[in-house]
Chains A and B, each alone.
Chain A
Amino acid sequence: MEFPLDVKVKDLSAGLKQKIEIVRAIYRGAKLLILDEPTTSLVESEFKDLLRTLRSLVKKGVTIIFITHKMREVLEACDRVTILRRGKVQGTLDKEDMTTDNIVKMMFIEKDIKVTESALPKVELPESKKSPKPILELKDVSVESSERSVGLKNISFELYGGEILGVAAVSGNGEKDLAEIIIYPKNLNRGEIYVDGEKINGLSTLQVFSKGVFYTPEDRIKEGILPDGNLKENILLGHHSEDRFLNNKTFIKWDEVRITTVDIIKKFNVYAPSEEIIIRRLSGGNIQKVIMGRAFVNPIKLLVTHNPTSGLDVSTVEFIFEKLVETRGSGSAVLWIGEDLDELMILSDRIAVLYKGELQGIFNRDEFDKYKIGLLMIGGQR
């Protein structure tokens, strides 16, 4: 593991922070290690690294509780598994009984969910018609690096309607800058960004949104919602300057907002008693559905979505997957920034790899190779 020793921890990426936590626990010589979703920000090879470390610790007599929602990790990492569902123990399986089937059955008693080998929902990617012209086009876009991030270096790519472009990057490799420069190109002075043929350099977020772009941020609680606001206030966020929700450009039509919110609750299967509920009281999956739903208040041409499924259970992930496929099917473009290569490989038409702010290559679906792409994500050679 590689650490920048002179940077303050608060300025590090989520991935690096996670790694520091793990290293610290190991360094302290803990006898019982409880790891709560330790792999959220790790890529394949780092996960293997971690696994090796954990194995050697186990050999030395350390007990490890490994909390995860990713089935593949259970299958690879654990000697026994206990399944919790809605706060109740559903049962414990020994190594020999641990199969994807058995676990899924215990996790989702009432549902019949198809999953892939890596325990992700199986969603088909149907044929779709690519738009003749790109919806999103970046030409030589660069963002200065800062203490906080590596920035971007000469990024160029095109994204067409009816296409999902996955951007695979380990957290802290410029993927956040990529999302942010598209929705806030105000200070972009190196390179050009076009949405549907129109240059958006210098526009504010709301102006970009008005071009048919919307965004779901990486950290759903910290960046995505107003935790103490109700669902109406949360749905309005980002749409608060649109004429349809305003009288005389000043007064908010709360009735209109309410109707839209109710509509989204229905369309996105948000499990909420009413649109008046404070969003903080909802589960992570339902919060993510609200955030997703907000993106579809208006018809959109481009959805920029950053880690939309992180930390969600399989059935919500499946729902989000279906929404992305549906968006693609309707002729819109999806820029999906993520760090879970398994997920990206299921749904992306193409995958672009970002490492230290540089594009390492863009792969078509028939070129997807988990090992090769995973290696590029951590700076390996092609």
Chain B
Amino acid sequence: MKDKKILRVILIYFLSILFAFLVISIIVSIFGYNVIKVLKTLLTTSFKTTFGFQETIKKTIPLIFTTYAYTIPFMIKFFNIGGWGQMLFGGTITAVVGLTLPYLGINFPSYIMIPLLIVTGILAGGFFGLIAGFLAAKFDINPIISTIMLNFVAVQFLNFIATNPIYRDPFEGHPITLPLPKSGTLGFIYGVPVSIIFAIISIIFVYVLIKKTKLGYEITAIGHNLDAAQKFGINFQKTILTTFFIAGALAGLGGTFEVINIHKKLIEGFAQTSGAQYGIFGVLTGLIVAGDPVGVPIAAFLMSVLLVGADALQRTMQIPVEMVFLSQALIVLFIVTFRERFLRRT
């Protein structure tokens, strides 16, 4: 019975993507582009060249973090739209710590600096997530509202830091800070960011947390039936706080790696890809996995394949990147609709 269900799930996802691409093909051909070429570029760029694959991994890493940020609160039926802000805040505070220490004349070796910055990102992001969690647990304020508002706070905070005389790079016109000290940055192996290691650790961490620990059980139980969970001694308020902390912490950690591994300084829009925030793509990807943390890495990778394909489309065929946002939206819509129609209540 279980095998049958898995087959069905695969079929549904396959059909959703097929339908989405069908609609995309129609739209693309209306605009007069070569449909076959468009689809080929979109789907194969990641796998044709080493560079394409490296780019894909580079996008997958932050996407994994922001997708978790959406998915974990979603397990207890809360919508965290704030992965964006949590990522920005985590990255910004990381940069503040990374830049303030040398400014004060403190120079740690990298084996102290890197863990310090990672912990900073986790705590800062976690704190930012916790604000929304606290508002929800204590005052019953819907996190959709609070997290969207907090996103703007994070954007402004980033600008404030990046234009601050202490941190700002005086030769840049944009809000960009001075580079981080070398001891506070990570490099690349075979063109892949070293942060991949931490992404993998996070995947294992989330899996163990959800499937093997008491906290994971409490989160699952609340997701299944809040009334029963509460009746049998699971503290809802506490679980809201912990899920939002974990969500924010992971997004914040993702922000840290964007800052210390990719840009090596704080840049306005450091958490963007193809012109949109990783936080927003995290929500999209989260909608696809629908609260199942196990699916997050795979979905994040597939989303990145599309993003890399989209960049290529823009470069080689001058197709606006919005076309790809459209296709991603279509895929999500089809999957959500098909799943609702064919998988629920069976």
- Is B213 in contact with A237, judged by CB distance below 8 angstroms? no
CA distance A233 to B233 in the complex (A): 14
Interface membership of A252, Cβ < 8 A: yes
Whether A228 sits at the interface, judged by CB under 8 Å, is yes
Q: Pick the contact of A227 from B220, B224, B232, B234 — CB < 8 Å?
A: B224
Measured CA separation A356–B227 after assembly (Å): 24
Contacts of A254 in B (CB 8 A): 212
B residues within 8 A CB of A226? Answer: 220-221, 224-225, 228-229
Q: Which of B213, B227, B228, B229 has the most CB of A within 10 A?
A: B228
B228 touches A222 (CB 8 A): yes
Closest A residue, CB atoms, query B224: A226
Chain A residues bordering chain B, tally (CB within 8 A) = 28
The interface-forming segment of A47-55, A243-251, A264-272, A333-341 is A243-251
Question: Contacts A226-B224, A227-B225, A229-B220 given: A252-B213 contact, CB under 8 Å?
Answer: yes
Return chain A residues, CB-CB under 8 Å to B48: none
Chain B 192-235 interface residues, beta-carbon cutoff 8 Å to A: 212-215, 217-218, 220-221, 224-225, 227-229, 231-235
In this assembly, does A38 line the interface, its C-beta being within 8 Å of a C-beta of chain B? no
Q: How far is the CA of A219 from the CA of B170 in the complex (A)?
A: 67
On whether the beta carbons of A240 and B231 are closer than 8 Å, the reply is no
> In chain B, residues 225-284, which have Cβ atoms closer than 8 Å to a Cβ of chain A?
225, 227-229, 231-235
Whether A237 and B214, one on each chain, are in contact in the complex, defined by CB atoms closer than 8 angstroms, is no
Q: Is A330 an interface residue (CB 8 A)?
A: no
Contact A209 B220 (CB under 8 A): no
* Size of interface on B: residues with Cβ below 8 Å to A: 19
Q: Are A252 and B224 in contact (CB under 8 A)?
A: no
Q: Is the CB of B228 within 8 A of A223?
A: yes
CA distance A241 to B214 in the complex (A): 7
B214 touches A240 (CB 8 A): yes
Asked, given contacts A251-B212, A251-B213, whether A237 binds B220 with beta carbons under 8 Å apart, the answer is no
Say which residue of A215, A227, A228, A236 sits within 8 Å of B217 (CB atoms): A236
CA distance A208 to B319 in the complex (A): 64
- Chain B residue with Cβ nearest A239: B232
Q: Is the pair B218, A240 in contact by a Cβ cutoff of 8 Å?
A: yes
Contact status A252-B231, CB under 8 Å? no
Q: Which of A224, A237, A276 lies at the interface centre, i.e. has the most chain B CB atoms within 10 A of its CB?
A: A237
Is there an interface contact between B214 and A246, defined as CB atoms closer than 8 Å?
A: yes
Instruction: Please determine whether A223 and B227 come into contact, CB atoms closer than 8 angstroms.
Output: yes
Chain A, Cβ-Cβ closest to B227: A223
Inter-chain contact A215/B231, CB cutoff 8 Å = yes
Cα separation A217 to B233 with both chains bound (whole Å)? 13
Please state if B228 and A240 are interface contacts (CB–CB under 8 Å).
no
> Which secondary structure characterizes the binding site on chain B?
helix
Report Cα–Cα, A206/B231, bound state, in Å.
10
Flag whether A238 is at the interface (Cβ < 8 A): yes
A252 to B212, CA, bound (A): 6
Pair B214/A204 contact, Cβ less than 8 Å: no
The smallest beta-carbon distance between A192 and chain B, in angstroms, is 21
> What distance in Å separates the Cβ of A88 from its nearest Cβ neighbour in chain B?
24
Which of B213, B215, B228 is in CB contact (< 8 Å) with A224? Answer: B228
Q: Complex Cα distance A205/B236, Å?
A: 13
**CB neighbours of B220 from chain A (8 A):** 226, 229, 233
Q: Which of A206, A209, A229 contacts B221 (CB 8 A)?
A: A229
**Interchain CB contact (< 8 A) of B229 among A215, A237, A241, A252:** A237
Contact among A223, A241, A276 with B231 in the assembled complex (CB-CB below 8 Å): A223
- In whole angstroms, what is the CA distance A236 to B218 when docked? 10
In residues 194-230 of chain A, which contact B (Cβ within 8 Å)? 204-206, 209, 215, 217, 222-229
Smallest Cβ distance from B212 to chain A, in angstroms? 5
Interface flags, A159-173, vs B, CB<8A=1, else 0? 000000000000000
Residue of B nearest to A294 (CB): B232
Asked if A225 contacts B225 (CB within 8 A), the reply is yes
Complex alpha-carbon distance, A228 and B234, angstroms: 17
Closest to A179 in B: B231
A205 touches B231 (CB 8 A): yes
Given contacts A226-B225, A227-B225, A228-B224, contact A233 B231 (CB under 8 A): no
CB-based contact A238/B233 at 8 Å:
yes
Residues of A within 8 A of B231 (CB): 183, 205, 215, 217, 223-224
Could you mark each residue 5-43 of chain A with 1 if its beta carbon is under 8 Å from any beta carbon of chain B, else 0? 000000000000000000000000000000000000000
A225 to B232 Cα, complex, angstroms:
10
A183 to B228, CA, bound (A): 13
Residue in B closest to A180 when the chains form the complex, CB atoms: B231
CA gap between A233 and B212 in the complex, in Å: 12
Please give, as numbers and ranges, the residues of chain B lying within 8 Å of A225 by CB-CB distance.
225, 228
Task: Give the distance in Å from the alpha carbon of A233 to the alpha carbon of B217 in the complex.
Answer: 8
Q: How far does the Cβ of A228 sit from chain B's closest Cβ, in whole Å?
A: 5
Instruction: A206 to B234: give the CA distance in the assembly, Å.
Output: 8
Contacts of A233 in B (CB 8 A): 217, 220-221, 224
A-B contact pairs, 22 of them (CB 8 A): A204-B233, A205-B231, A205-B232, A217-B231, A222-B225, A223-B228, A224-B231, A226-B220, A226-B225, A226-B228, A228-B224, A229-B220, A237-B221, A237-B228, A237-B229, A238-B233, A240-B217, A249-B214, A250-B214, A250-B215, A252-B217, A276-B2
Known pairs A226-B229, A237-B228 / 18 extra A-B pairs, C-beta < 8 Å: A205-B233, A215-B232, A217-B228, A217-B231, A222-B228, A223-B231, A224-B228, A227-B224, A229-B224, A233-B221, A236-B217, A237-B221, A240-B214, A246-B214, A249-B214, A251-B213, A252-B212, A252-B213
CB-CB nearest 8 A-B residue pairs: A205-B233, A226-B224, A238-B232, A206-B233, A237-B232, A223-B227, A226-B225, A228-B224
Interface residue ranges, B against A (CB under 8 Å): 2, 212-215, 217-218, 220-221, 224-225, 227-229, 231-235
